[in-house]
Amino acid sequence: MNKTRLLRDAGQSLWLDNITRELLDNGGLRRYIDEFAVTGLTSNPTIFDEAIGGGDAYDNGIRAKAKAGKSGEALFIELALEDLRRAADLFRPVFDATDGVDGWVSMEISPLLAADTQGSIEAAAQIHRQGDRPNLFVKIPGTPEGIPAIEESIFNGVPINVTLLFSALQYSAAAEAYLRGIERRIAAGRTPDVASVASLFVSRWDKAVGEKVPPELRNRLGIAIGQRAYGAYRKILASERWMKLASAGARPQRLLGKHRNQGSERVRYVVCRSIRRARHDRYDSGKNLEGIRRSR
């Protein structure tokens, strides 16, 4: 059994931070799912920019959409969603088997909206409608202007992946926005079952300090930040406030760690959220997340 399957069997989820049309067409993503136990996928505008500009896989689609009168961001969104719908369908068996805990794909709103609350709310709703998949997260950055957009989007029933989180303080703000959105849904008589993850950028810290720290401290800062965020996560799940929401049917906003290999073969980050197949396990604050760990 390969190591990624061992991680899955230990209760960890591995999500791929990449997508290209070639990866879909050549069966690469299918292979990641079948052979390496990958159970989700995220994307961002940079990933799609590199994918579209790195070959001719999108050329026919661009020409067809341009002839249909689409251009600019509208054309880009449709290109991206074509890929993400296909990916979502590949992950749908995982989504169904885990009762919506895993098997997600993500699409980010435009970076130009990072400081535009209302624009972010509207863009999230549009992507949610246009994406037309139950296992599609919309990514909103955890900026000061993004926090109220996250709350409002959750209230509107849009599954949200909160991105660009770099600290326990930022994570806590994102978690509070999620809780407020769920509380408002309950008060309005709506179902509280709206999914969300909070994406903590782990390796960016180690890349930032680089050679500025002694060798024995390299590739450790991200782990320390992750541990603080995980502590905040567990504190929320142990709170009476969360227990009340869980008893009403809410699911926890899961903590996702993001890492891109910085060239170190000695240290890797294993990020993760538990896959809990039994419905009641979604609400067990003692089981939901194994945390962010370092493996050698």
Rg (CA), the chain: 19
Question: Concatenated DSSP letters for 187-229?
Answer: HTT------EEEEEE-HHHHHHHGGGS-GGGTT-HHHHHHHHH
Residue 139 known to be catalytic: yes
Single out the catalytic residue among 139, 207, 235, 287: 139
SS3 24: helix
Nearest to 11 by CA among 31, 39, 49, 42: 39
Task: Cite the beta strand spans of the chain per DSSP E.
Answer: 14-16, 38-41, 105-108, 136-141, 160-165, 196-201, 254-258, 268-270, 293-295
Q: Report the C-alpha gap between 4 and 10 in whole angstroms.
A: 10
> Could you tell me whether strands 293-295 and 268-270 are parallel, antiparallel, or unpaired per DSSP bridges?
antiparallel
Residue type, 251: R
Q: Kindly report the CA angle at 204 between 202 and 207, in degrees rounded to 5? A: 125
- In DSSP terms, which residues pair with 41 in a beta bridge? 16, 105
SS3 269: strand
Q: Report the C-alpha gap between 48 and 83 in whole angstroms.
A: 10
Is residue 185 within 8 A of residue 152, CB to CB? The reply is no
The catalytic site residues sit at 139
